Amino acid sequence: MDPAEFGISTLPLQHGPYPAISPETLHGVNAGKIAVITGAGQGIGAGIAESLAQSGANVAILDLTVEKLDKTKETCQAHGVKVEAYACDVTEKDAVLATFDRIEKDLGPIDVLVNNAGILDQRPYIMSTFEGFWRQIEVNFKGPLITIHALLPRFRERGGGCIINIASRSGTVDVPMTLAYVSSKAALIRATHTLQQEMALDGLDPAIHFYALHPGGVLTGMGGSAAKQDIAEKYGNLQDEASFMELFKDPPALCGQTCAFLASGRGEELRGLFLDCRQDVTKLLEYGREALLKEKRNTLGVKFLDGYCNEP
């Protein structure tokens, strides 16, 4: 993959928490809220959980096993908030419903949901098992839809709530050998746009606000993993390793602090949009919601030849 193929920003990107989203700026902004984070055992999910705890939220952290959550729980508790850990497979509807019931019994009504759990198996579709391919779709797309479906009625009853879907720039570009990942992330971005419009239909906009968020280039076991041996044997070295690794220079705290900012409602004017946490939210807010929507910025789209429109 050649990064230059997708364009290079002329505005500076952020590679760490900046003033608008710093821990100092957001201290206490989510005090008293209950936030649920899936896939919180490590990496980005752990960073999101800590940032929300640091901003005052009590947190419910989810992963496949409780043991995977021990370190995250300890880190979050250091910020003086309530923290509970739950084993939950987000692709299992009954398990999600039961877990949410337990969370609300243990901590109280849920105010914030961050759908972070995700998996990636880098291989061409023709060399994949269908079961392996589909499992990625289930975790990355079905899982968030299950958690959202379980939570929306509760948000409706209480008149508000925030849902952040951890998406990816991969959902906006074509990346060979990641068909399940790019497809599921594109679907999640589109779902975010559409769900926000459905909130408007029900008179629940902006009280219930959705966001799709690219977490930046975080070096995790998923994003920074090398090609499997069978793939390398067939296709050789597909990328310049040095330039590829240069893409991963963002700490989990950049995404985490952006989530804390959005959960607070300070980014409400950006609801329903696809955001890149490396782009300064103050610039987007200054540009204005009306202009962003009118010009179809931060949303998925298709460019046709001049003169042709994507008409009904």
Helices 179-201, 130-137: crossing angle, 10 deg rounding: 30
Backbone CA torsion sign across 227, 233, 238, 244: positive
DSSP one-letter string for 112-172: EEEE-------S-GGGS-HHHHHHHHIIIIIHHHHHHHHHHHHHHHHT-EEEEEE--GGGG
Specify the amino acid at residue 302.
Answer: V
For the question of residue 18 being annotated catalytic, the response is no
Catalytic hit among 125, 181, 235, 287: 181
DSSP one-letter string for 84-115: EEEE--TT-HHHHHHHHHHHHHHT-S--EEEE
Task: Provide the token pair at 265.
Answer: 């409602």
Backbone angles phi, psi at 275, to 5 degrees: -115, 150
Q: What is the DSSP letter of 32?
A: T
Helices (H), the chain: 43-54, 70-77, 93-106, 130-137, 143-158, 179-201, 229-235, 241-246, 252-263, 281-287, 289-294
Q: Are strands 112-115 and 83-87 parallel, antiparallel or unpaired?
A: unpaired
Backbone angles phi, psi at 36, to 5 degrees: -110, 130
Kindly give, in sequence order, each residue whose CB lies less than 8 Å from that of residue 229, ignoring residues fewer than 6 positions away.
Answer: none
Q: Which residues pair with 87 in a beta bridge?
A: 63
Kindly list the catalytic residues. 181
